[in-house]
Structure 1
Amino acid sequence: MAGRRRWSTEEILDAAAELLRTGDADSFSVRRLAATLGTDSSSLYRHFRSKTELLRAVADRILLAAVDGYRPEGDWKQRITGLALRVRDAFGRHPQLATVWGRYASGGTGSRLVMEEVLQALRTSGLPDEKIPAHYHRIVVLLTALITSEAGISTITPEEYDQGMELFRVAVLGADPDQFPALAHFARDLRPLGADRETDFHAILAAQLAQIEATI
């Protein structure tokens, strides 16, 4: 009787990524992944010690894809912006995996390559070494928040989007000026969350980098 097929680490990660693209981290399980591969959970635990370790590895592959072919260009701000946009685009193609990255982070090669480039760029900015870790941390927190937020919005259905727009119109344009005077005053100039996300991404990141530049 032939034994069960032995799956490689890369094949396991491919299958996990596909499951996550059609579901989410909460519904994902090693048992379900094993069933998809036609094997048992114990065979997968030879590659990954836990579900969390497996999810981190899947997210790290997106970071590896983001830095594949990347070459630093321009000054330190252009380098960080260019890298940030590559990471945003990579997770934009796999929004379900962005939430995994935001929740579990990653300690793999992709993560280290991104960390290295941001730190190297900051070192060329003129910041003293003792100030770089704090600014690095703020940049990473900002990027993670922006990218995972965009991913959450991009995974909703058209029906859910329309419902959200209607709720926005009712809550903002229909605000009682006596109870919500500021909201009523600015109502027609406010945009719903998720509108023109790319422009906001550029503007928010540019503001953070400008703040760093002002301290140099």
Structure 2
Amino acid sequence: MAGRRRWSTEEILDAAADLLRTGDAESFSVRRLAAALGTDSSSLYRHFRNKTELLRSLADRILVAALDGYRPEGDWKQRITTLALRLREAFGEQPQVASIWGRYASGGAGSRLAMEEVLQALRSSGLPDERIPACYHRIVVLLSALIAAEAGIGGITSEEYDQGMEQFRVAVLGADPDRFPALAHFARDIRPLGVDRQAAFEEILAAHLAQIETEIQAGTP
């Protein structure tokens, strides 16, 4: 009788990514993954101690891919912006994993590469060393929140998107001007969350980096 196939770590992560494309991190389980691979859970636990470790590895693999071929260029703001856009693009291809990155800090090679680049960029900015950890933390919180929010929009089906747009039109364009005067006034200019996401991403990040730059120029926190 032929022995059961041994799956490599990369093959397991590939299968996990495929499974997540049809679901989310909450419904994902090692048992479901094992069933998709035609094996039992115990064989997967030889590679990963638990579901959290597996999901962390999956998120970290996306970070590694995002940083593949990356070379620091420009000033500190350009470096952080370029890195941020690479992360946005990488997680945009697997939106179900974006929330995992924000929830489970991976601590793997990809995470260390991203951390190192942000910290190096901040060191080159002129910030005093004692301010860098706090600024780093705020940048990472901002990026993970923005990327996870985009993933929530990017992961919806076309039917869900159409339903959301219809609800948006009713809520905004149909707002009662007596009850919601400001909303009625700006209704024609208010855009749905899914519109111009990259521009909004870049503007929010640029505003945060500009705030750090103002701190550097002032020489005070």
- TM-score for the superposition, normalised by structure 2: 0.94
Provide the residue aligned with 1:111 in structure 2. 111
- What is the letter of the counterpart of residue 210 of structure 1? A
The CA deviation at 1:144 is: 0.7
The CA deviation at 1:14 is: 1.4
The reply to whether residue 211 of structure 1 matches residue 199 of structure 2 is no
Point out where structure 2 has 5 or more consecutive residues left out of the alignment: 217-221
Point out where structure 1 has 5 or more consecutive residues left out of the alignment: none
CA shift digits 1:26-67 (9 cap, x unpaired): 221111111122211111111111101101101110000000
Provide the residue aligned with 1:68 in structure 2. 68
The CA deviation at 1:100 is: 2.1
Provide the residue aligned with 1:49 in structure 2. 49
**96-105 or 11-20, which deviates more:** 96-105
The CA deviation at 1:192 is: 1.0
CA distance in 1, matches of 2:175, 2:123: 48
Provide the residue aligned with 1:122 in structure 2. 122
CA distance in 1, matches of 2:172, 2:10: 48
- What is the letter of the counterpart of residue 173 of structure 2? L
Provide the residue aligned with 1:170 in structure 2. 170
CA distance in 1, matches of 2:36, 2:158: 29
CA distance in 2, matches of 1:2, 1:169: 60
CA shift digits 1:55-85 (9 cap, x unpaired): 1101110000000010000000000001001
The CA deviation at 1:182 is: 1.8
**123-132 or 179-188, which deviates more:** 179-188
- What is the letter of the counterpart of residue 212 of structure 1? I
Provide the residue aligned with 2:197 in structure 1. 197
**85-94 or 3-12, which deviates more:** 3-12
CA distance in 2, matches of 1:211, 1:83: 18
Aligned residues: 216
Report matched runs for 1:137-176 at 5 Å.
137-176=137-176
Provide the residue aligned with 2:30 in structure 1. 30
CA distance in 2, matches of 1:76, 1:180: 43
CA distance in 2, matches of 1:107, 1:52: 12
- Over aligned residues, Cα RMSD in angstroms? 1.1
The reply to whether residue 7 of structure 1 matches residue 7 of structure 2 is yes
Provide the residue aligned with 1:94 in structure 2. 94
Give percent identity, aligned residues only: 82
The CA deviation at 1:104 is: 2.1
The CA deviation at 1:3 is: 2.1
**182-191 or 78-87, which deviates more:** 182-191
